[in-house]
Chain A
Amino acid sequence: MQLINALEVQRRIDQLKDQDIYLHLEMTTGAYASHNDSSKHPAATFISNASIQYSQGSISGVGPFRVGLKMERGWVYSEGLTHYEETEPERLIMAGHDSAGKLVVALQLSREPF
């Protein structure tokens, strides 16, 4: 994974719009968050291989970045994205890593299921 290049990510978002794609979206504080520190609230959520289509999408901010995808009847929104996978030209793999390198948030789009 590389640090996000917003221009390149925007290009890929545009390439995947107006078609049926698969979405993986997640956010997590880690399964051991409250075990390691009882003041922490453990939370995690993910949806994998949801079929969506968006008519407009963009990346915003100066890093960490936000992405919003406008669907016919709703939105996909993600904040805190820091990295993307440059070597995956067909798919858009993005994640937000914290200062310890751990994944906090992920947003992935692909024409094929993950």
Chain B
Amino acid sequence: MNKRILVVLPHPDDECFGLSGTLAKMIREGAEVTYACLTLGEMARTMGIPPFANRVTLPQVRKLELEASCRIIGIQDLRLLGFHDKTIEFEERELLDGSIGAILQELKPDIVFTFYPGYSVHPDHDATGAAVVRVIGGLPEKDRPVVYCMAFARDHQLAIGMPDTQFDVGDYLKQKIGSIQAHRSQFQVPGLDDKKPSREVRERFGTERFWTYRFE
């Protein structure tokens, strides 16, 4: 049976640098991916480089960018959960956990990707990861999907060690670069426009690393 994958991240673009290659690879291998994106990243301070959006137009701009990124990666199902950027850690827990729990119950995924709570820099990242492991931790052990976490806080490896899972996504750089470039209001990464990815780009983007969350 094909794998069912659920991605739970708070902002459009959270998928592009650390996860898009892995998703493209798994989709090529037959996986069905649902991406639950909690907010529209409407409080970002980058409005384009140079700016072409403003605080009022940004949510719609970023929604379209996210849809484009998902198309490029091949993600079959995008869910916009409608929470407000920067507020995940303050949101009513029942509402937050309930909306994540409902999707888990509906899809019964084999694998869930999210941020490692406490080691993912942005408060929305940490709060999203915390909600995901809280909800999954509440399931009977046999019903829990594998949870792969991204982490990038300063010195995170001192606390959680080295990533235990990695995927070579060298064959999926086209999708990954496409995903990064789809979020044009947020990033302008030099060297990605080249027809063939340079060795530097391959080294920087060719491997994606994750920590399997260990439930107590």
Binding site for B on A (CB under 8 A): 1, 24, 26, 28, 30-32, 35, 38, 44, 46, 83, 85, 88, 91, 93, 95, 97, 101-104, 106, 108, 114
Contact = CB atoms under 8 A, between A and B. Distances in A.
Contacts of A83: 51, 54
A29 to B, nearest CB: 8
A26 B124 CA distance: 18
Interface string B42-54: 0101111111001
Interface residues on B, range: 10 to 19
B122 A102 contact: no
B28 interface: no
Interface string B170-185: 0000000000000000
A95 B54 contact: yes
B56 interface: yes
Interface string B108-128: 000000000000011110000
B133 to A, nearest CB: 21
For the complex, would chain B's binding face be called helix, strand, loop or mixed by DSSP majority?
loop
B130 to A, nearest CB: 17
Q: Which of B45, B49, B56 has the most CB of A within 10 A?
A: B45
A91 B55 CA distance: 13
B54 A93 contact: yes
Contacts of B51: 1, 83, 97, 101, 103
Interface of B: 43, 45-51, 54-56, 86, 121-124, 153-154
10 contacts: A24-B55, A26-B55, A31-B123, A85-B56, A91-B56, A93-B54, A101-B46, A101-B47, A101-B48, A114-B56
A88 B45 CA distance: 20
Contacts, number: 56
A16 to B, nearest CB: 16
Contacts of B123: 31
Given A30-B45, A103-B45, 14 more contacts: A31-B86, A31-B122, A31-B123, A35-B121, A38-B154, A44-B43, A88-B56, A93-B55, A97-B47, A97-B51, A101-B48, A102-B46, A103-B47, A114-B56
A26 B121 CA distance: 21
A106 B122 CA distance: 21
Contacts of B124: 31
A106 to B, nearest CB: 5
A95 B55 contact: yes
Contact of A104 (B45, B48, B54, B154): B45
Nearest to B52: A1
A28 B85 CA distance: 13
A1 B47 CA distance: 10
B83 to A, nearest CB: 14
Contacts of A103: 45-47, 51, 55
